[in-house]
Amino acid sequence: MAITTRPISAITTMMVEMTNVSGGFSPVITLDRTAAKPLHRQIYDAFRATIIGRNLQSGQQVPSSRTLALELGISRIPVLSAYDQLLAEGYFESRRGAGTFVSSSLPDQLMSCEYRSAGPDQPPSGPRKTSDRSALLPGREESPWVFGSGAFSVGQLAFDHFPLQIWANLVSRHARKVRASALNYAEPMGSRDFREAIATYLRTARAVHCDASQIMVVSGSQQALDLSARVLLDPGRPVWVEDPSYRLMQFALTMAGCRLIPVPVDGEGMDVAAGVKTCRKARAAFVTPSHQFPLGVTMSASRRLQLLDWAHNAGSWIVEDDYDSEYRYESLPIASLQGLDHGKRVIYIGTFSKTLFPAVRLGYMVIPTDLVDRFVAVRRALDVCPPSFNQAVLTDFINQGHFARHIRKTRMVYAERRSALVVAVEQEFGSRLPILGDEAGMNLAVKLPPGLADREISIRAAARNLWLWPLSTSYLGKPVHQGFILGFGSIKKSDIPAAVRRLKDELSAHPKWS
Considering only residues 358 through 387, tell me which ones interact with a copy of itself, judged by CB under 8 A: 358-361, 368-371, 373-374, 376-378, 380-387
Task: State whether the Cα torsion 248-288-295-265 is positive or negative.
Answer: positive
Distance set, CA 275 to CA 246, 257, 284, 286 (Å): 18, 20, 11, 12
CA distance 404 to 297: 25
Q: Which stretch binds a copy of itself (CB under 8 A): 167-175, 431-439, 473-481, 502-510?
A: 167-175
Least separation, in Å, of the C-beta of 281 and a copy of itself?
14
For 254, counting Cβ atoms within 10 Å of its Cβ (0-12 exposed, 13-18 middle, 19+ buried), the class is middle
Q: Out of 42, 214, 316, 473, which residue is the one contacting a copy of itself (CB under 8 A)?
A: 214
Q: Is 12 in the site for a copy of itself (CB under 8 A)?
A: no
Segment (H or E) for 61 = strand 61-62
Q: Out of 12, 75, 204, 465, which residue is the one contacting a copy of itself (CB under 8 A)?
A: 204
CA distance 453 to 447: 11
Q: Is 135 in the site for a copy of itself (CB under 8 A)?
A: yes
Considering only CA atoms, which of 412, 413, 438, 411 is closest in space to residue 424? Answer: 438
Least separation, in Å, of the C-beta of 401 and a copy of itself?
5
Q: Which stretch binds a copy of itself (CB under 8 A): 227-235, 443-451, 453-461, 494-502?
A: 227-235
Q: Out of 29, 87, 415, 480, which residue is the one contacting a copy of itself (CB under 8 A)?
A: 29
Residues 238-257 that bind a copy of itself (CB under 8 A): 248, 251-252, 254-255, 257
Strands 346-351 and 317-321 come out as parallel
Considering only CA atoms, which of 514, 511, 427, 499 is closest in space to residue 466? Answer: 499
Residues 470-489 that bind a copy of itself (CB under 8 A): none
Q: Out of 76, 192, 344, 493, which residue is the one contacting a copy of itself (CB under 8 A)?
A: 344
Q: Is 131 in the site for a copy of itself (CB under 8 A)?
A: yes
Least separation, in Å, of the C-beta of 464 and a copy of itself?
21
CA distance 99 to 80: 13
Q: Considering the complex, state which of residue 149 and residue 465 has its C-beta at the smaller distance from a copy of itself.
A: 149
Q: Out of 54, 409, 502, 510, which residue is the one contacting a copy of itself (CB under 8 A)?
A: 54
Considering only CA atoms, which of 330, 332, 340, 278 is closest in space to residue 303? Answer: 340
CA distance 338 to 31: 65
Q: Which stretch binds a copy of itself (CB under 8 A): 4-12, 48-56, 107-115, 466-474?
A: 48-56
Among the residues of 120-211, which ranges form H helices? 164-177, 192-205
CA distance 109 to 119: 19
Q: Is 11 in the site for a copy of itself (CB under 8 A)?
A: no
257 in Cβ contact with 235 (< 8 Å): yes
Q: Is 281 in the site for a copy of itself (CB under 8 A)?
A: no
The arrangement of strands across the sheet holding 346-351 comes to: 215-218, 363-366, 346-351, 317-321, 284-287, 238-243, 259-266, 269-270
CA distance 267 to 307: 15
**Binding map of a copy of itself across residues 408-427, x = CB under 8 A, - = no contact:** x-------------------
Q: Which stretch binds a copy of itself (CB under 8 A): 88-96, 180-188, 443-451, 471-479?
A: 180-188
Tell me the angle at which helices 389-399 and 164-177 cross, rounded to the nearest 10 degrees.
130
CA distance 161 to 378: 37
Q: Considering the complex, state which of residue 35 and residue 377 has its C-beta at the smaller distance from a copy of itself.
A: 377
Q: Is 97 in the site for a copy of itself (CB under 8 A)?
A: no
Q: Which stretch binds a copy of itself (CB under 8 A): 219-227, 417-425, 459-467, 498-506?
A: 219-227
Q: Is 55 in the site for a copy of itself (CB under 8 A)?
A: yes
Considering only CA atoms, which of 364, 267, 375 is closest in space to residue 320? Answer: 364
Q: Is 111 in the site for a copy of itself (CB under 8 A)?
A: no
CA distance 244 to 203: 30
Q: Is 200 in the site for a copy of itself (CB under 8 A)?
A: yes
Total site size for a copy of itself, rule CB under 8 A: 140
Residues 435-454 that bind a copy of itself (CB under 8 A): none
Q: Out of 111, 164, 273, 498, which residue is the one contacting a copy of itself (CB under 8 A)?
A: 164
> What one-character-per-residue DSSP string does 81-110 give?
HHHHHHHHTTSEEEETTTEEEE-SS--HHI
287 in Cβ contact with 270 (< 8 Å): yes
Q: Is 51 in the site for a copy of itself (CB under 8 A)?
A: no
Write the Ramachandran bin of 404: left for phi over 0, alpha for psi from -120 to 50, otherwise beta: alpha
Least separation, in Å, of the C-beta of 372 and a copy of itself?
9
Q: Considering the complex, state which of residue 274 and residue 376 has its C-beta at the smaller distance from a copy of itself.
A: 376
Q: Considering the complex, state which of residue 343 and residue 483 has its C-beta at the smaller distance from a copy of itself.
A: 343
Q: Out of 42, 43, 48, 60, which residue is the one contacting a copy of itself (CB under 8 A)?
A: 60
Q: Is 308 in the site for a copy of itself (CB under 8 A)?
A: no
Q: Which stretch binds a copy of itself (CB under 8 A): 34-42, 263-271, 357-365, 431-439?
A: 357-365
Q: Considering the complex, state which of residue 254 and residue 278 has its C-beta at the smaller distance from a copy of itself.
A: 254
